Amino acid sequence: MAKIGFIGTGIMGKPMAQNLQNAGHTLFFSEHFEKAPAELVGDNGIALANPKEVAQEAEFIIVMVPDTPQVEDVLFRKDGIAEGVGAGAGKVVIDMSSISPTATKKFAEKVKATGAAYLDAPVSGGEVGAKAATLSIMVGGCPNAFERALPLFQAMGKNITRVGGNGDGQTAKVANQIIVALNIQAVAEALLFAAKNGADPAKVREALSGGFAGSKILDVHGERMIKGTFDPGFRISLHQKDLNLALSGAKELGLNLPNTANAQQVFSTCAAIGGSNWDHSALIKGLEHMANFNIRGE
């Protein structure tokens, strides 16, 4: 069994860490920002003071934090991971956050200069997938480090793909977030159209689920939209962050992503009416706000 450092035990990170413990691995947690969750600390969960100490103790160091600045901080702060991995050869740093592909390539080079390997391995599947260990994991990095880390990924996910070199995992995740956002918007617009036209949106969803329009987003998020259950599995603010990565990357590449930009505007409407922490399925509330019409009759 492996010794694993795990930094970032939020909505996604906590169940991912629990699944690694359930697989028999020993985890080390950093308390430089906040206390490790009590249920993770025990026989195979050890709390340490900072990321450096975690990296010194662990063979694999997983980072699961919200955004690019937080990844940079835990990697390169004064008592950060980069200082700790220098204490032993053969360590593997695995960033499972969703961050900038461009920054990822820079971080990878700096970490590899210490003698450690680096994998970017963002995930898709939300809180449900994190709890069920069914996440899709998109990996960028060298084949050898990927093979060494594969048993860890298999404890957290099902669809595990090495996409290519460093940065390619993050690029795949940005592409994933474009597809998810546009599908959420498509479902929201369809249900809004149906309800405004006098049809029962629940029955319309049921009818569509068996045809070519059927999708996991229609099934899961369509139900959330109809019931109005918008407690976050994945917050709107985080999806906005991911679409910002898509749009800024597109600008660097000279690309136009008009539908992605439009979905970002609807998310911004949600944020403007107090919905930054709603689940991203609540994109429909932005459309409802603009239409002055609610499909749930609220």
Q: Tell me the catalytic residues.
A: 173
Residue with tokens 């600045």: 69
3-state secondary structure of 112: helix
**SS3 for 214-274, per residue?**
CCHHHHHHHHHHHHCCCCCCCEHHHHHHHHHHHHHHHHHHCCCCHHHHHHHHHHHHHHHCC
Residue 159, amino acid: N
Our CA dihedral for 117, 122, 128, 132, rounded to 10 degrees, sits at: -30
Specify the DSSP class assigned to residue 162: E
3-state secondary structure of 157: strand
CA angle at residue 201 from 200 to 206, to 5 degrees?
100
Distance CA 96, CA 157 (A): 12
CA angle at residue 80 from 56 to 131, to 5 degrees?
80
Distance CA 177, CA 195 (A): 27
Classify burial at 212, counting beta carbons within 10 Å of its beta carbon; exposed 0-12, middle 13-18, buried 19 or more.
exposed
CB 295 within 8 A of CB 283: no
Residue with tokens 């260990």: 133
